[in-house]
Amino acid sequence: MTQEINKRTMVQLAAKMGIPITEKQEELALLKFHNIKVIDLLPEMMVMIRSLLSEKDFSYRRKPITAIKSGLLISFQNVFNGRKEDRGMIGPATSLDQERAHVRIVPLHLDSEVKFSKQTHIEQITILIETTYLKQFLGTEQTKFSYLFNLEKTFWIDEFMSPEIAALVDEVVNSSAEVSLPDFYYRLKSLELLYFLFRNLSLRESVSYQHMTTKEIEAIYQVRNAIAASLDKALPVKELSQLLGMNELKLRKLFTQVFGKGLYPYFQHLRMQEAARLLKEERLSVSETGYRLGFTNLSHFGRLFEEHMGTKPKKWSSKT
């Protein structure tokens, strides 16, 4: 019965967002919902909180959202390999080429492909927010993020999920169904998530933002997936550009625009995320972890790990 209620809630939410999914009943049947909440704070915001497991790999095309005339869709997504009750620590999924926990920002008018992976548990908070309302909170700092408010350009931002954001998403998704003053609580928590997000965005590499076509967005994710599948060896930029049929300069610019890091810094960041997982979840030794990820100099591996994770790898692996 709870599953049916959750699915009806999902259908009702989609209708309110202006993207009816009544014709997606076959896809909905593949999703096992642990939890779903909808907090209607329109006209400024709408918040969807959901926890689900997909029984198969599938995707569907999400149409432009019309619930807010001018705004952003900001999705905070924790991704765990397997059922929630069997999951390990918050962090990357087990498979190297599987999507990591992330925060994604897109304009509401952009249609996009939504993907679900088999036996992957997702905890997600999606915030639809009106641009003028968001600017009020950014105040004088809003000029740093002007690229987000030029909605005539098509953009797509993907940010790593910081530990603070991952912990907050987990807290909110799994909060009691009967929280006091729910509208107040969820508005406050949503703004807290947005604070951490914009704090992280302010640290991104400086780049001149440009319009991106849907084809270019998909191409950049092909590159990201190729990098994630080869963490023991950096792929040559020339090889990646040939994969897309895109010149190297454009590839570098668009990749940094989407992910906030250049190709090689992004590769190193993914390596350190995977190193943290290998040390913690698979209980590999520091040397085994370093060699698996292609390091021949373990001192260099240790320095790089500490730079990214804030602690030495041996100390990290001993944490409970």
pLDDT classification of 87: cutoffs 50, 70, 90: very low
Q: Which of 35-39, 44-48, 316-320 has the highest mean pLDDT?
A: 44-48
Reduced 3-state DSSP string for 35-76: EEEEEEECCCEEEEEEEEEECCCEEEEECCCCCCCCEEEEEE
Supply the pTM of this predicted model: 0.83
Instruction: Report DSSP state, residue 297.
Output: -
For residues 203 and 198, what is the distance between their CA atoms, to the nearest angstrom?
A: 9
**What is residue 86's predicted lDDT score, i.e. its pLDDT?**
40
Q: Average pLDDT of the chain?
A: 84
Are the C-beta atoms of 93 and 147 separated by less than 8 Å?
Answer: no
For residues 207 and 296, what is the distance between their CA atoms, to the nearest angstrom?
A: 33
Domains, the chain, ranges and CATH? 2-201 (2.60.120), 229-318 (1.10.10.60)
- CB neighbours (10 Å) of residue 149? 18
For residues 44 and 319, what is the distance between their CA atoms, to the nearest angstrom?
A: 42
Judged against a pLDDT cut of 50, whether residue 60 lies above it is answered with yes
Q: What is the mean pLDDT of residues 2-31?
A: 65
**What is residue 119's predicted lDDT score, i.e. its pLDDT?**
79
**What is residue 97's predicted lDDT score, i.e. its pLDDT?**
31
Cis, bond preceding 64 (omega within 30 deg of 0): no
The span from the first CA to the last CA of the chain, in angstroms, equals 38
